[in-house]
Amino acid sequence: MTDTTLSLKTGPARGRRRRPGFVAMLYLYGSLFIVAAIVLVPLLTTALGGFKTLGDLRVNPFGLPGEWQWSNYWDILSGARYWQMLGNSLLIASMTVVLTVAVAAMAAFALAHVRFFGSAFLMNYFLVGLMFPIATAILPLFIRIRDLGLLDTYLGVVLPQVAFGLGMAILLFRNFFRNVPKELFEAALVDGSGYIRFFWFVTLPLSRPILATVAIVAFVNSWNNYIMPLIMLNSQDKYPWPLGIMIYQGEFSTDWQLVLAFITLTILPTVIVFFAAQKHIVAGLTAGAVKG
Amino acid sequence: MSDAAGIIERPSPVASRGRAPSRRRAGAVGGHHRNIGGVWPVLVLFLPPALVLFTLFVILPMGEAAWYSLFDWSGYGAPEDFVGLKNFETLWRNGAFRTALTNNGLIILVSLALQLPLALWLATLVSHRIPGTTAFRLVFFLPYVLADVAAGLIWRFIYDGDYGLVASLASLVGIATPYVLADRDYAIYAVLAVVVWKYFGFHMMLFIAGLQSIDKSLYEAADLDGATPWQKFRTITLPLLSPTIRLSVFFSVIGSLQLFDMIMPLTGGGPSNSTQTMVTFLYTYGVTRMKVGFGSAIGVVLFLICVTLAFSYRRIFMRHD
């Protein structure tokens, strides 16, 4: 991402290339609009479908509703179910973010700044987690959580999520921490402050961008996670929204208009947050991948 | 293990801009630190939380999966019914599992042969300095941010034979309404379309970042030599983009192998197992029936495939680095 700003500033390229001609513009915008339509039409049909009656939906799946059925949305918004699901998701995601950031930052700090026997081995140990998907060990994981008595608790979902996010988080943190200028370190050590004070007062305040990246990755992963709560939770009042939405779809399977309204409302927070904080989210999710 | 690190680990941008040497020196003065502050407090306080969590919930379960896969076990009591490699044998003879393997292969193939060129093409389009490209980038990235489950449900509606878009498109053209997701032969292609719809934006963003890091003066030089756009693409863009392409391939393969969330709302692996992937197969036949041994065997196979791919990826792509 930093390279972007650099290349923009290194002048000569700027304005050098001529504006594309008319045919080229037509090709460019034509292609872009077609792809954008393929992306957006399903989303818009979903949102509009939530305003229709079932009969309207059958004869007119895309296009504006004949009569706007606000009650479809209103009934969901005024019920407890929707808010409870979002609340559960928010709680699980927040716990995951806090734990991931705290645990990974501490470990990465030790791996980046302290030289000790086995440090390289330990780093590779954590990186093994990046190699295989969470599903490979899902059954033993279920048994472990059950034996710990954490089945059907938020913690039973959070702990495995944190553990599987650690590899990437530690890698991102360590790469960033290693570039904290060593002069700062020497100055702090002359001051007589130890590693832990240095971590708290120097490293963390300097690391806001990477803290944001790790937090965004952890939050989005948890918010969208389906398999972990599916395996670990039993009672509906603890379900996060990906599970809740599936249950809802099962209950109202033929009432597509209600299901569509429900889908729209559940993805609405994501869409709003995405457009409000797009720069950070795109940077976080792609830089998370690239810098990793 | 160090191979695993090598695949993922790349120099951070800051380091690549010339600070790398100072980092090395910072490492070298480690002994210097030790004189001033003790290292034990930080090691004892900072490492164990991550180590315990990671070992308990990632490494041990993986090892246990290997162990449990040798038993016929319902998950209650201790695993006692030792069956050797019988679970793997059953697995191999299971037609649905072979379909799942084929489907996973198909998803990887489509990701590489269709999605990757599409993403690269779009990245070059939105890299033009014309108005509106930022908005297009965001729109293209939007599906990636949505949960797989939501995307799956949305497309289940789109594909619905009675209410969906596909139904009305079909009646518009005047053909019989296809029930795409209920068709054994076509359901998997419908799923593949959703995969591309959901993930091309992410790869496009990777490529945009890659394109931006290419030195613009190279294109100027090529312009002076009278190179055609295609020549510029082939001789400058493509070679200089190869690290990004590798990264994109890596994410495609890993992502394809763990596809689960999207399949469940779309087809649940049906009709008659025609859209199973390895993970949905694991869920359907291992988890819901609590066949811990059999399910673990599936996990082990998936693990071995991931490791094999990771190592061969390294052999194929990293040789020249």
Mean pLDDT of successive 10-residue segments in chain A (292 residues)? 37 49 87 94 90 82 82 89 93 96 94 86 88 86 93 95 93 88 74 78 88 90 93 92 90 86 92 86 73 52
Same-domain pairing of B30 and B102: no
B-interface mutation test, from A58, A100, A136, A280, most B Cβ less than 10 A away: A136
Distance from the A49 Cα atom to the nearest Cα atom in chain B, whole angstroms: 10
- The pLDDT value recorded for residue B319 is 58
Same-domain pairing of B16 and B143: no
pLDDT tens, position by position, B61-104: 999 999 999 998 888 888 888 888 888 998 899 989 999 999 99
CA dist., res. B247 & res. B207, Å (int): 10
In a domain, B243, yes or no: yes
CB atoms within 10 A of CB A64: 10
By three-state DSSP, how is residue B82 classified?
Answer: strand
Same-domain pairing of B117 and B259: yes
Contact, B57 vs A150, CB < 8 A?
no
Contact, A292 vs A172, CB < 8 A?
yes
In a domain, B245, yes or no: yes
CB atoms within 10 A of CB A124: 15
CATH assignment of the domain containing B201: 1.10.3720.10
Contact B136 A199 (CB under 8 A): no
Same-domain pairing of B175 and B298: yes
pLDDT tens, position by position, B196-214: 999 999 999 999 988 988 8
β-strand partners of B82: B71
**Tokens 């878009």 label which residue?**
B165
* Two tokens, residue A189: 């050590």
Contact B22 A181 (CB under 8 A): yes
| β strands within chain B, DSSP E | none
Higher pLDDT, A257 or B170: A257
Higher pLDDT, B177 or A54: A54
Contact B31 A36 (CB under 8 A): no
B233 pLDDT exceeds 90? no
Same-domain pairing of B3 and B109: no
- The pLDDT value recorded for residue B30 is 41
Kindly indicate the confidence band of residue B138, based on its pLDDT and cuts at 50, 70 and 90. very high
**Residues in chain B closer than 8 A to A223 (CB atoms):** 147
Same-domain pairing of B146 and B221: yes
Same-domain pairing of B168 and B292: yes
In a domain, B82, yes or no: no
Homologous superfamily (CATH) for A82-254+284-291: MetI-like (1.10.3720.10)
In a domain, B111, yes or no: yes
Closest listed residue to residue A229, CA positions, set A103, A130, A136, A145: A145
Least confident of B188-202, B214-228, B290-304: B214-228
Closest listed residue to residue A58, CA positions, set A254, A265, A263, A262: A254
Same-domain pairing of B269 and B144: yes
**Tokens 């380091």 label which residue?**
B15
Contact B153 A259 (CB under 8 A): yes
pTM of the model: 0.85
The letter for the amino acid at B2 is S
Kindly indicate the confidence band of residue B227, based on its pLDDT and cuts at 50, 70 and 90. confident
Q: What domain count does chain B have?
A: 2
CA dist., res. B40 & res. A122, Å (int): 16
Residue A261's Cα: distance from chain center in Å? 23
The letter for the amino acid at B77 is G
* Minimum Cα–Cα distance from B171: chain A residue: A59
Same-domain pairing of B11 and B158: no
**Residues in chain A closer than 8 A to B136 (CB atoms):** 32, 35-36
By three-state DSSP, how is residue B71 classified?
Answer: strand
In a domain, B58, yes or no: no
Same-domain pairing of B138 and B3: no
CA dist., res. B46 & res. B64, Å (int): 27
In a domain, B75, yes or no: no
Domain range for B181 is 96-317
Please state whether B277 falls in left (phi above 0), alpha (psi between -120 and 50) or beta: beta
| CA distance to B129, B194, B220, B224, per residue, from A17 (Å) | 9, 37, 9, 12
Same-domain pairing of B8 and B108: no
Closest listed residue to residue A224, CA positions, set A290, A277, A260, A271: A271
In a domain, B74, yes or no: no
